[in-house]
Amino acid sequence: MKKFLICLILLNIALPSQAFFWNRKDKALEKELQGKGYAGTLPDLGEKIEKTKTKVTTPIFESQENFNDPSDLKPVPKDNPAFINIIQKQDKNSEFADDANEIIPMLEKLVDCIEDNENLQLFITKANLLTLNIDSLAEKYEGKPESYYESFRKLKEVNNYVKTVSTLRREAVTYQRYLAYSTTGSIYNPENITQQLEYLKEELTTAILLLKEEGSI
C-alpha cells in the first residue's frame, strides 16, 4: 500500500513537468513553422474568389415572345410586282421568254412596214398576225406571275395601239370622202393617220427593246 501511494505521489509530480516540457516544445515548433505549409496562416481567398465570379450581362433589348414563330412571319409578296420584277427576276430560259421571243420578229416586221410606207393590205395582214399572237400570250399568262412583267404589260398596250390604228386606216378608206368636211372626218385625214403611224412605230420599237433586254437578263 505504501508503494502504491509513493508511486501516485511521484506520478503527480512528474505530470506537470512533462506537460510543461511538451507545452514549450509545441510552442517552439509552432513558432518555427509559422507561415509555412499547412501549419501557417492561410491567405484570405474571399476577395479573389469574389473577383472571379461570373458576371451576368443583361441584354440591352427586350426579348420577343414567340420569336421566329412561323405564324408571325410575313409571307413572300408573290403578288407584288416589285418582288416579281426586281427580287425574283424571270428566268431568261422560261416559257414566257420563249413565247415573247417569237413575237419580236412580228413587231419588227410591222415597224418595217410603217417605215417603208407599205400599202394598207400588207399593214393590216401583219398587224392582224401580231395581235392574234399577243392575244394568245395574254390569255395564257393573265393572272399568273408573268402578267406582272413590264414586257407583258407593254405588249398589251402595243396590242391595243395596233388594233386602234388598223381600225382607223380601214375606216378611213370608207368614210374619208363622206366626212371630210365634218369634225369627225378630221381623224381620217392623211396627216392624222401618218401621225398615228409614227406614234405606233415608237411604241413598237420600245416593246422590242424591252423584250430583248429582259431576254438577256
Cα 26 to the chain's mean position, in Å? 83
| Cα 199 from Cα 205, distance rounded (Å) | 10
Which pLDDT value is given to residue 60?
44
pLDDT tens digits for the chain (217 residues)?
A: 555 556 655 555 555 555 554 555 555 555 555 555 555 555 555 555 555 555 555 544 444 454 445 455 455 555 555 545 544 454 446 899 999 999 999 999 999 999 999 999 999 999 999 999 999 999 999 999 999 999 999 999 999 999 999 999 998 888 766 665 555 567 888 888 999 999 999 999 999 999 998 876 5
pLDDT for 77: 54
The DSSP H or E segment spanning 158 is helix 150-179
pLDDT of residue 61: 42
The predicted pLDDT at position 59 comes to 47
Asked if residue 138 lies in contact with residue 156, where contact means CB atoms within 8 angstroms, the answer is yes
Whole-structure pTM value: 0.56
Cα 16 to Cα 22: distance, rounded to the nearest angstrom? 10
92-215: CATH architecture: Up-down Bundle (1.20)
